[in-house]
Amino acid sequence: MAKKMNKYKYTEKCNEISGFGGSYEEGCCKMVIAGLEWFDAHPDADPKFHVFKNLFGLVVENNKDAEALTKHMNTAINGEATGAMMQACMDHVMFAKHHGWDKYIEMMEKRENDIKT
C-alpha cells in the first residue's frame, strides 16, 4: 500500500508557531496539520470554542465538533499537548482553514521587516 502524501508542508522559511523550537515546535506543526486534515475529513463541521481574555492556554470546547477536533489534534502528538500548545495551534488551524494553506504559509514565512504596521 502506497503511503499517503501530505498536502500540508511547512517550508524551511517558516517562522515557528511556538518559538520554543525542537520537539515542542515539531509537535505544534503536527497538531496544525492534524487539525487541517480533520477539517478535510469533516468539511461540514463547525467547531465552536471560547478563550479567556488575559489567560493563555485554556481553550473551552463549546460543541461536539470542537471536542472531536481538539482530540484529533492532541492524538497527533500522543496526547501530550499543553493548553498553550492547543490554543496557539488552534489559532493557526483556524487561520489556515479560513484563508487557505498557501496564504497561511505566506504569513508564516514573513519576517519582522516584511510586516508593515
3 has a pLDDT exceeding 80:
no
> In this structure, is the dihedral angle defined by the CA atoms of residues 62, 77, 85 and 73, taken in order, positive or negative?
negative
Looking at residues 93-105, what average pLDDT do you find?
A: 97
pLDDT given for residue 6 in this prediction:
74
pTM: 0.90
54-94 pLDDT tens trace: 999 999 999 999 999 999 999 999 999 999 999 999 999 99
Where do the structural domains in the chain lie, given as residue ranges?
22-108
